[in-house]
Every structure is written in structure tokens, then in C-alpha cells.
Amino acid sequence: MNRRDFNKAAGAAAVTAAFPPLNVRAQAGSLKVGVLLPRSGVQAGIGQDCHRVVTYTAGILKDLGLPGLELMNADTESNVDVARSRTERLISEGAQLLVGAFDSGQTTAIAQVAEQRGIPLVINIAAAPPITEQGYKFVFRNFPTAPMILGDAFANQLEVFQATGVSPKSVVFMHVNDTFGQAMQKGFTGVMAKFPAIPYKVADVIAYDPAARDLSVEVAKARASGAEALVMVSRLNDAILITRELVKQRWTPSAILSMGPGWYEDQYLKTLTKLSDGPLHFVPWFDPNKKLAKQVEAVHNKAFPEVSFGTNHVFTFEALLVAADAFKRAGSANPKALADAIRTTNITDNVSTGPGIQFDAKGQNDKLKNSAIQNRGGKLVVVAPKGASNAKPELPMQPYDKR
């Protein structure tokens, strides 16, 4: 390169840098959305489940009259450091908005990068409260925090206990020892204190490794506590391992009250067949009566007939919905304009349970509500809250050896 070429190139670069809005406007035909999910590693199953939504969202957004999204996929490999580096890379490759990333630890790392670089992040799933307590201006979460999940879980439990007439007097709280599990554990006691009508005492708290290959020790310890029921915060593989151990160690708790993923997932139901029946889940879910919920579920069932529509799909879809809606209203892919548009989101025709999608000053949708669902005959039925249920709860659980 000679001096003249260098000057031309430098001049062009200077003009481009001096007029960023023009530059961005030129790309405003579609929004480049970086979708970060743990598609390999320990959480690969769930990450890939979330990713299913990415494959069919475009058609639904088009039906809703929303602009198209140019999706850029990245695998966090279930690892916080990889999540951080993939975020950096997506932004360098032109991502104008980020969506992700299922896990609270990875999402925390992504949020830090997004805030530093001024790129909006719409969190699909991550419950650790600190993520939206940092004063971030570019981070938005359409998923309940751990205390919100817990608060609704206790309210729904009371409804279930009242409906069945079964109230366990003591429980063991077992949780995965990761960011989500720890956040739930920390919140559990505090939130429970706000529900004096809860009938049980916590006999023991048992944390375990999310990548554990054998949970016999954990179940033996829980059984030895003499508790009547289990309160669980799990992932998928550990939920299967724990159920197997319960059967082998000949212990059927009167209730399994799950406040996280795992126990209601398809693989859990398919792997354990009739042994999967009984657990109750208090989880962010969808309102089956909402118009958009019916539409998205129908599209999902057509695309993936073997995979039940659930939490992972609902909130990954809604994150993309928020992105498209903000892009339409902002009329620009400028990250700051997008962030401002997301802040004023007001989507009432949505999928999840609750009045809709709005964000508070911290970037949190604090209007979301949980549902109680139960495994019955290899399917999931909604048993609470009463207004959004399609079955009555059944407790105590049928003994494993009599199925």
C-alpha cells in the first residue's frame, strides 16, 4: 500500500466512523441478533431445546407483522468463560442485539460484556437476581428471578395442598450447586418466611454437583433425614438419577415439589415412563388460553412433534419477540435506540403466564407469574393457579413399587 492508498483508506474509515447512524441505518433491513445458548457440555440438552425455537420463530414474527431477524448462533459450551468470549466475538461480527443464555452464570458474564459494549441483551432464561440489580442500561430479562419463582411456588403449593388435603410436615431441600441452584437456595428460606401457612419444616438442605454421575449418597442422606417430601431445584440428568435412586433405595416421598427444570422435561418422562408420574413443578410456564400461546404451540408441535412445548421454548420465543418488537418500534438497529425501545415494551398478546411483557426500571419483567404442573400418564397437566389449570392435583405420590 502506498501513501495515497493509505490516505484514501484512512479517509474512508474516518467518514464511516463519523456517521455511525448512517452506517447503521444502511443495515436496518434486518436486525442481527446473536443467540447464545449452551448447545454442548453439561447443559447441551436444554440449550439445544431452546435452540429449537430459533428454527421456527421467523414465520410467526412475519405473521405478527414484525420485521425479520438475522440470527447468529453461538454455543457457550455450558461454560462461563466461553460464554464471555463468544459474546465478544458475536459483537465483533456485527451482532446488534443479544439473546441468551439459559444459565445464570453464563448470562452474568454475557451481561457484563453487553453492558460494556453497549449492545442490548434480552435474557431468555436466567433466574439469579443480581443480573438485573447492577444498574445495567442494556440488560433486560423476561424471566422471573429466583425470589419471584419461589414466591409463586409457595402460593401455588398452598393451593395444591388445600385441593388435595395432603400437607407434608417436613421436607429436604435438594439443589444443584450452580449459580441458579444457589440463588434458589438463598431465596428459599427468606421467601418461605413470607408464607406462614406453608405446613412443612426444612429437615435438611443438600447441595450436589450438577455434573454428578451418581447421586446415591445424596438420596441416602435425604432419606435418612426422615422428611416426608422433597423440594428440588434440579437439571435434567440429575432429576433422572435422583428418581432412579429413590426407587432403588425404596423411598417414595409423599410429594416431589420441583422449582426448576428437569422433572417435567420430555426426556425425563420418556426415560422413566410410569416412574415419572407424580412430581409437581412450580415453574414459569405458558398460559394455554392466550392466542399467541396457542399459535406458537401449534407451530412448535408441527415442527417438533416429539418434543413437548414448555418453558425453554416459551421464553426463548418471547426474547426474540421482544427483539423484533423493539426493532420495529425503534426503526433502527442502533443499539441505544433498541435499548430505549425495549425499555418501553408493552406486549400484552404474549405466551407466558401473566399480564404480558413490560420491563421495570431495572430491566426486569416483574409481572410474570408461575404455574403448577404435574406429570400424569406421561403428559403434563396444569393444576394451578386455578384460573389457568386443566386438571386437579393428585397427592400423595403413588409408591414407586406399586406402579
Partner 1 sequence: MPFEVYLNVAASGLLTGLVYGLMALGLSVIFGVVRVVNFAHGEMMTLAMYLTLVLFGALKLDPLVLLVPVAAVLFVFGYLLQLGVINPFINRPEHSQFMLLVAIALILVNVQLIVFGPDAKGIRTAYSFDSFQLGKLIVDASKVYAAGAALVVAAALFAFFRYTLLGKAIRACADNYDGARVVGLNVKRLYALTFGLGAACVGAAGAMLMVVTDVTPAVGPAYTLLAFVIVITGGLGSMPGALLGGLLIGATEALGGVLFTPSAKSMFAFALLVLVLLFRPQGILGKKAS
Write out the residues near partner 1 by the rule CB under 8 A: 39-42, 44-45, 47-48, 78, 177, 206-209, 211, 213-218, 220-221, 223-224, 236-237, 240-241, 244, 247-250, 267, 271, 275, 400
Nearer to partner 1, 93 or 209 (CB): 209
Closest approach, Cβ 249 to partner 1, in A, equals 6
Nearer to partner 1, 237 or 371 (CB): 237
Nearer to partner 1, 106 or 237 (CB): 237
Closest approach, Cβ 236 to partner 1, in A, equals 7
Nearer to partner 1, 30 or 249 (CB): 249
Nearer to partner 1, 58 or 275 (CB): 275
Name residue, grid cell 457440555.
Answer: 41
Nearer to partner 1, 144 or 261 (CB): 261
Closest approach, Cβ 233 to partner 1, in A, equals 13
Name residue, grid cell 425503534.
Answer: 330
Q: Are strands 280-284 and 370-376 parallel, antiparallel or unpaired?
A: antiparallel
Closest approach, Cβ 264 to partner 1, in A, equals 16
Closest approach, Cβ 121 to partner 1, in A, equals 24
Closest approach, Cβ 212 to partner 1, in A, equals 8
Nearer to partner 1, 86 or 290 (CB): 86
Closest approach, Cβ 289 to partner 1, in A, equals 32
